[in-house]
Chains A and B, each alone.
Chain A
Amino acid sequence: QKEVEQNSGPLSVPEGAIASLNCTYSDRVSQSFFWYRQYSGKSPELIMSIYSNGDKEDGRFTAQLNKASQYVSLLIRDSQPSDSATYLCAVNKIQGAQKLVFGQGTRLTINP
């Protein structure tokens, strides 16, 4: 079982709709959770972080964390073509240290 799992996609969503990206992780001691966006040929860019159960909203993005179910999700409201990218879920297992494990990423395409 992979430590961090994502559906690789591609996920196709019409412009203006809500895009929902999911991630599960295997290690219950995981502390911090991150979503990165990566455009083709570019480096990953941090877009959301979440540390406690529940929802965290930042503009059009909402991260949701459920530690009991070991599940993290990212919702993108009012999807735009510029949101088309690969979204990487990352988990930091060790508190007090930077040791990230990444999922393989979900490729998202927003159709105009």
Chain B
Amino acid sequence: EAQVTQNPRYLITVTGKKLTVTCSQNMNHEYMSWYRQDPGLGLRQIYYSMNVEVTDKGDVPEGYKVSRKEKRNFPLILESPSPNQTSLYFCASSFRRSGTGTYEQYFGPGTRLTVT
């Protein structure tokens, strides 16, 4: 089954304790992204990756790191989490449709993170 998986789905942690949220896709998509979703602010892009070893900042990259060492995996790293990073996080992967040259994006199930 084609899918994007994230782990963990739920995480409660304390300020300053480094954590990693994993994201994996089995569709051989080149493009992957991380978003956070907050009430009243909607979905905001944190980082995106256009291919292995190619990443770029989205709209809210501060406090986050990513890496793309393999095509299928795109982990999100919070080196020193703070309470303002409490949010619902989504990983997404996308492919470029030939002909139109546009992208279709598929989201993972989400990770609910609470930082106390």
Contacts and interface: CB of A to CB of B under 8 A. Distances in A.
B9 to A, nearest CB: 11
Given A43-B90, A43-B110, A98-B33, A32 B103 contact: yes
Interface stretch (B19-27, B38-46, B68-76): B38-46
- Bin chain B's interface residue count: 20 to 34
Contact of B50 (A34, A42, A97): A97
Contacts, number: 54
- Bin chain A's interface residue count: 20 to 34
Interface string A17-43: 000000000000001101000000011
Give chain A's interface secondary structure class: loop
Given A43-B108, A92-B103, A96-B101, A101 B59 contact: yes
Interface in B42-70: 42-45, 48, 50, 58-59
Interface of B: 31, 33, 35, 40-45, 48, 50, 58-59, 90, 94, 100-110
26 contacts: A42-B109, A42-B110, A43-B108, A43-B109, A44-B107, A46-B106, A49-B102, A49-B104, A51-B100, A51-B102, A92-B103, A95-B101, A97-B50, A98-B33, A98-B50, A98-B94, A98-B103, A99-B45, A100-B33, A100-B105, A101-B45, A101-B59, A102-B42, A102-B44, A103-B42, A105-B42
